[in-house]
């Protein structure tokens, strides 16, 4: 290829990793701060109406998954949450998309928020109960928290950007896929025009039959 060939993308994008980390830390800090406020100002089982039947604070301790589901499987969800955290950290090295950084940051922050509860809250390490306090009876019977909202919202956004075909490296599916067209052929070589997005590269190869004649 000529000097105009594509430059490889950097291994790490510090800007996108910083965005992912900022979103994750923000979600985690907000989730834990409000949970601590609930634990110190409310009695377990207490219900406070904020907007009548639309929004209520209802303090419960949840040993199960998000939205108070699958109680009694705390250790299983602790392990699953730890795996999710590791996967996101590994994938983060490939992220060069603002959308993916924000979405995975939200999922990471929410996962860490509930994992922290399971590891360090009562009754014991690894079997702690998650603090839930948001109740919207008109929407669902389950009680949830900020971390749950971040996880579910992040997964919904995950589905959306996947349907939009936005990749981790910021490219967009078929639109950015490289295409190769044969422009011309001669007796001595072949010229190819390669287009990739908005750039065009020209390469030339020489056929093996152009070798000089051997002397007898």
Catalytic residue selected from 31, 117, 132, 210: 132
How far is the CA of 215 from the CAs of 150, 188, 210, 212, in angstroms?
A: 77, 21, 15, 9
CB 71 within 8 A of CB 64: yes
Active site residue 31: no
Catalytic residue selected from 31, 148, 169, 176: 148
Q: Is 36 exposed, middle or buried (0-12, 13-18, 19+ CB in 10 A)?
A: exposed
One DSSP character per residue, 100-125 reads HHHHHHHHHHHHHHHHHHHHHSSSST
- Positions annotated as catalytic residues are 132, 148
């Amino acid at each position: 290829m000529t000097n105009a060939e594509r430059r490889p993308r950097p291994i790490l994008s510090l800007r996108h990793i910083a965005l992912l980390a900022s979103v994750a830390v923000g979600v985690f800090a907000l989730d834990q701060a409000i949970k601590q406020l609930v634990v110190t100002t409310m009695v377990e089982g207490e219900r406070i109406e904020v907007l009548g039947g639309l929004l209520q604070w209802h303090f419960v301790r949840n040993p199960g998954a998000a939205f108070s589901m699958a109680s009694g499987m705390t250790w299983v969800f602790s392990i699953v949450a730890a795996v999710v955290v590791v996967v996101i950290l590994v994938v983060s090295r490939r992220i060069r998309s603002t959308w993916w950084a924000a979405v995975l940051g939200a999922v990471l922050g929410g996962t860490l928020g509930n994992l922290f509860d399971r590891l360090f809250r009562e009754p014991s390490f690894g079997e702690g109960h998650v603090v839930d306090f948001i109740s919207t009876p008109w929407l669902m019977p389950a009680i949830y928290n900020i971390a749950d909202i971040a996880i579910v919202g992040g997964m919904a956004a995950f589905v959306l950007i996947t349907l939009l075909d936005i990749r981790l490296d910021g490219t967009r599916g078929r639109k950015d896929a490289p295409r190769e067209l044969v422009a011309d052929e001669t007796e001595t070589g072949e010229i190819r025009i390669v287009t990739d997005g908005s750039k065009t590269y020209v390469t030339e190869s020489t056929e093996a039959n152009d070798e000089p004649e051997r002397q007898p």
